[in-house]
Structure 1
Amino acid sequence: MSRRKPYLVGHQEFARLYCVDPKQVAQWLSPSRGSVLDPSTAVVVSGVRYWPLGFAAGWGATTARFRQVDYDAKAQIIAEQGEGWEPHRADELPPIVGQHEIIQIFGLPAQGTLATTIASGRFPAHDWLLSGSMLWMLDTVLDAADMLRASARSLPWEVDERIVAALRDGTYDGPGSRVLTRGRHTSKSL
Structure 2
Amino acid sequence: MDRLKPYLVGHQEFAALYGVEPQMVGQWLSPSRRTLDPATAMVVSGVRYWPLGFAVRYGTTTARFKQVDIRVKERLIAEQGEGWEADLGEELSAIVGQQEIIQIFHLPSQGNLATAIATGRFPPHDWLLSGSPLWLLDTVLDAVPELRASARSLPWEVDEAVVSALRDGTYDGPGSKVLTRGRHARKGL
TM-score category by the smaller chain?
over 0.9
For 1:22 and 1:67, the matched residues in 2 are separated by: 15
For 2:18 and 2:185, the matched residues in 1 are separated by: 27
- The answer on whether the counterparts of 1:8 and 1:52 sit within 8 Å (CA) in structure 2 is yes
Match for residue 102 of structure 1?
Answer: 101
Unaligned runs of 5+ in 1: none
Match for residue 179 of structure 1?
Answer: 178
Say whether 1:30 aligns with 2:10.
no
Q: What is the SS of the residue equivalent to 1:32?
A: coil
Deviation at residue 187 of structure 1 after TM alignment = 2.5
Match for residue 80 of structure 1?
Answer: 79
Say whether 1:167 aligns with 2:170.
no
- The answer on whether the counterparts of 1:179 and 1:189 sit within 8 Å (CA) in structure 2 is no
Alignment of 1:106-185 (within 5 A): 106-185=105-184
For 1:86 and 1:187, the matched residues in 2 are separated by: 35
For the aligned residues, what is the CA RMSD? Answer: 0.7
Match for residue 17 of structure 2?
Answer: 17
Q: What is the SS of the residue equivalent to 1:88?
A: coil
Q: What is the SS of the residue equivalent to 1:129?
A: strand
For 1:32 and 1:61, the matched residues in 2 are separated by: 20
Q: TM-score, normalised by structure 2?
A: 0.99
Deviation at residue 185 of structure 1 after TM alignment = 1.4
For 2:183 and 2:82, the matched residues in 1 are separated by: 40
For 1:189 and 1:43, the matched residues in 2 are separated by: 16
- Deviations, residues 58-114 of structure 1 (Å, cap 9, x unaligned): 110110011001111000000000000000001111000000000000000000110
Q: What is the SS of the residue equivalent to 2:26?
A: helix
Alignment of 1:66-77 (within 5 A): 66-77=65-76
- The answer on whether the counterparts of 1:29 and 1:38 sit within 8 Å (CA) in structure 2 is yes
How many residue pairs get aligned? The number is: 189
Name the aligned partner's letter for residue 138 of structure 2: D
- Deviations, residues 25-77 of structure 1 (Å, cap 9, x unaligned): 000000022x1100100100000000000000011011001100111100000
Unaligned runs of 5+ in 2: none
Deviation at residue 122 of structure 1 after TM alignment = 0.3
Q: What is the SS of the residue equivalent to 1:181?
A: coil
The list of structure 1 runs, each at least 4 consecutive aligned residues, that deviate by more than 4 angstroms after superposition, is: none
Q: TM-score, normalised by structure 1?
A: 0.98
- The answer on whether the counterparts of 1:98 and 1:134 sit within 8 Å (CA) in structure 2 is yes
